[in-house]
Structure 1
């Protein structure tokens, strides 16, 4: 056992070495530009995003509140469009999707990945070009596939033998010939949490390269004239910060491309390496440079295909988190500050796992600051928790907040633009918060917050 002495000098705890919390930052008021939205700053002591004071946001829209820096998000879209100018960039809608987000994607020239009929409906509702949509999902229903075929989506990524047969039958009925890709499980495991690693064989996604299932899927698709096989798809996980895993996956996919050419005389023109690129959540996290990522992936694909004697296929990538994650924050109001002597302070806010389940789901880490004012008080080792009836209702497990924190203060949590609103629930009958976009000193609601009437609607 090793003793941890709280930097403020008035709290300590016996902790195992692996439980030692991070050291308090030198400046509790600092807004690290590597973690917070690109337009973040402090003005009159308060955090501002997009030129809007968070105190004004709380007064106008209430808390909890999702805040999205429009300039940040759209600039990251442009970064990808520029870096992958000779490739396809399809935003992974599962990270966060709403009508306004789709409008931004169209304006910035990106494509869109959808993983359900509902996500497809959002895109189509604002007239997004269906040819720039890719349909994903491990269990697409007949209704979802029919909707995708009727809309004329650009690609459908097939995930099972059942789906190949189902899609072929529906395409024949509708007189369509969709472009399809096969989701290949390459056996490459990203260094990430089990729940977000998606390329090992023992999981629900894809058709295994190792067992021969992917090769059999190729045979079945080529035997159906209703389907046009155009490429292979791979996704190795999430929150990945280097290209090493992509290189291994690309080499294995190239081997399958060679086998397809030798067995069927078919050269597939497209290769989709998926997404999963990481962002910075806490001090010390590294996020990949988009240009370096693009150059690295292009070099990998070119190298492995040339070595295999194949023409270089057109590359597609599917960023989600790296586009919308850094530009989002969540704003909360402090309700109670409970000092558990010898351990830490429990800072309870007016949201919790209903608006951010990632910490409870797979131990996600975040950065949080006192947002409504600056403080010169010393650091207080804190656990930022919600108001739900669960011990695991934790937003930030270990964070240093000012020791003079009081009820009514506003806390902002950084890098919540991806997956927080998408995974939100109504646990304990808490309404889902609104999403506001900020830009040029103006805020506007892009997703309305729910009310108690919304929660009761539909009940008999």
Structure 2
């Protein structure tokens, strides 16, 4: 999604500044906050489907057969799932499926109309209780540890399955390695030196390895694509080894990890370049190419609205306190993602101050940002934390018994 001239990187048709007013799906953000109360998530659902369609079309444009599955952990709202179902007839090659990572997510996907063939399960450390739920559904499971192959094989002998691989390479925006795969040990994936043992374990139970799965990226943009390209080299080598071993592969699943721009010096990921990288490594294999976008579909869609309840100078630092804390938006605290905040009613106000943006949780590090350039703000104004639609709404906690944020979804734009 490319911002129009004069727009900031996080702006698009569904979330933008209209004069001084911030709008979401064409609605005035401040008016929504006054009407529904704060903290409040507001979603432009159309942007989710736009992102999904753009990704699918880019992969097809590179000559690939895309299989797009939404990473349900990013946002499991029924409103979003229903919108994704409208992109193509359910069960068709162009339909958007879902990837789940827990029994509850699996039940949720089924309850929202996805069939077992449209669902993949990519979890870790599966328990016997997990398999009590998973096994009867027949969903395709990507298994990521040698011991897990044995457990899955004992419970589901003869099934088709995927192997989640760890090529010891990956990239995260702003860091040299991914949280999922890298030079050091992680809890995810089969290493190349264990590949033969993994195949042997699968065959002991009659399991058929038909999918290669990896997750190499975290929030990447264009500048991370060269490292992502390099990380796929060992993946392609491992896939070739599986084919040579007689595994009837039907899909290479590249996972998720595509990011969206937020800061002024960031630009949208060039999907055509991303697709060409996948085509260069896997196009000759003539297999389906799976992707599991999460934040790429949802980040830009959501805005968290909060009221300013405190403005106070303390030992030379101006604290701007909000009626929202890390209990309703903890992605910045877990992944170190920066926060961009604008005033809902004065969205183009000059940044005359430097402030610390503080939450309302009784912990000293419940700070959305320090030394942030910000307008001269007053108590009672509404602040919008933009590009917050992915992960944050569903990762809330009841820490300090603070309630979850409200949610409003708009499937149309005014």
User: TM-score, normalised to structure 2's length?
Assistant: 0.88
Number of the residue aligned with 1:221:
202
Call closer, same or farther: CA 1:287–1:214 in 2, change over 3 Å.
Answer: farther
Q: How many angstroms does 1:341 deviate by?
A: 4.8
CA shift digits 1:60-87 (9 cap, x unpaired): 2211111111111121121122223321
Number of the residue aligned with 2:92:
none
CA contact (8 A) 1:38 1:327 kept: no
- Rounded to whole Å, the distance in 1 between the matches of 2:97 and 2:348 is 44
Q: How many angstroms does 1:299 deviate by?
A: 2.3
CA shift digits 1:99-151 (9 cap, x unpaired): 22222222222111111111112111122122111101111222333323322
Call closer, same or farther: CA 1:196–1:255 in 2, change over 3 Å.
Answer: closer
- Rounded to whole Å, the distance in 1 between the matches of 2:19 and 2:58 is 37
- Rounded to whole Å, the distance in 2 between the matches of 1:197 and 1:254 is 20
The 3-state SS of whatever aligns with 1:326 is: helix
CA contact (8 A) 1:236 1:245 kept: no
CA contact (8 A) 2:101 2:122 kept: yes
| Rg larger for | 1
Aligned structure 1 segments of 4 or more residues deviating by more than 6 angstroms: none
Number of the residue aligned with 1:141:
127
Number of the residue aligned with 2:286:
312
* 1:419 maps onto 2:400 in alignment: no
Q: How many angstroms does 1:267 deviate by?
A: 4.5
CA shift digits 1:234-275 (9 cap, x unpaired): 11130122433333333212322333344x333523211111
| Counterpart selection for 2:236 from 244, 254, 259 | 254
Number of the residue aligned with 1:371:
344
Call closer, same or farther: CA 1:285–1:300 in 2, change over 3 Å.
Answer: same
The 3-state SS of whatever aligns with 1:94 is: helix
- Rounded to whole Å, the distance in 1 between the matches of 2:307 and 2:177 is 31
Q: How many angstroms does 1:220 deviate by?
A: 1.0
Number of the residue aligned with 1:8:
none
* 1:69 maps onto 2:44 in alignment: yes
- Rounded to whole Å, the distance in 2 between the matches of 1:246 and 1:68 is 30
Q: How many angstroms does 1:376 deviate by?
A: 5.4
Structure 1 residues not aligned, in runs of 5+:
1-29, 443-460
CA contact (8 A) 2:97 2:114 kept: no
| Counterpart selection for 2:152 from 154, 167, 190 | 167
- Rounded to whole Å, the distance in 1 between the matches of 2:178 and 2:38 is 29
- Rounded to whole Å, the distance in 2 between the matches of 1:245 and 1:38 is 31
CA contact (8 A) 1:182 1:214 kept: no
* 1:206 maps onto 2:189 in alignment: yes
The equivalences for 1:337-356 within 5 A come to 337-342=311-316, 344-356=317-329
Q: How many angstroms does 1:288 deviate by?
A: 0.9
- Rounded to whole Å, the distance in 2 between the matches of 1:230 and 1:425 is 38
Q: How many angstroms does 1:371 deviate by?
A: 0.7
- Rounded to whole Å, the distance in 2 between the matches of 1:400 and 1:32 is 18
Call closer, same or farther: CA 1:362–1:31 in 2, change over 3 Å.
Answer: farther
Number of the residue aligned with 1:458:
none
Q: How many angstroms does 1:300 deviate by?
A: 2.9
CA contact (8 A) 1:246 1:273 kept: no
- Rounded to whole Å, the distance in 1 between the matches of 2:332 and 2:116 is 35
Call closer, same or farther: CA 1:256–1:362 in 2, change over 3 Å.
Answer: closer
CA shift digits 1:364-400 (9 cap, x unpaired): 2021111123575651111211011112101233422
Residue correspondences, number: 395
CA contact (8 A) 1:98 1:122 kept: no
CA contact (8 A) 2:14 2:24 kept: yes
CA contact (8 A) 1:114 1:133 kept: yes
The equivalences for 1:259-274 within 5 A come to 259-262=241-244, 264-274=245-255
CA contact (8 A) 2:170 2:228 kept: no
User: TM-score, normalised to structure 1's length?
Assistant: 0.80
Number of the residue aligned with 1:158:
143
Call closer, same or farther: CA 1:297–1:243 in 2, change over 3 Å.
Answer: farther
Alpha-carbon RMSD across the aligned residues, in angstroms, is 2.3
CA contact (8 A) 2:9 2:263 kept: no
Call closer, same or farther: CA 1:373–1:120 in 2, change over 3 Å.
Answer: same
CA shift digits 1:150-206 (9 cap, x unpaired): 2232x201012222122222224xxxx432111111010314458952112411111
CA contact (8 A) 1:31 1:40 kept: no
CA contact (8 A) 1:181 1:233 kept: yes
Q: How many angstroms does 1:51 deviate by?
A: 1.3
CA contact (8 A) 1:182 1:233 kept: yes
Structure 2 residues not aligned, in runs of 5+:
88-94
CA contact (8 A) 2:330 2:396 kept: yes
| Counterpart selection for 1:51 from 26, 31, 54 | 26
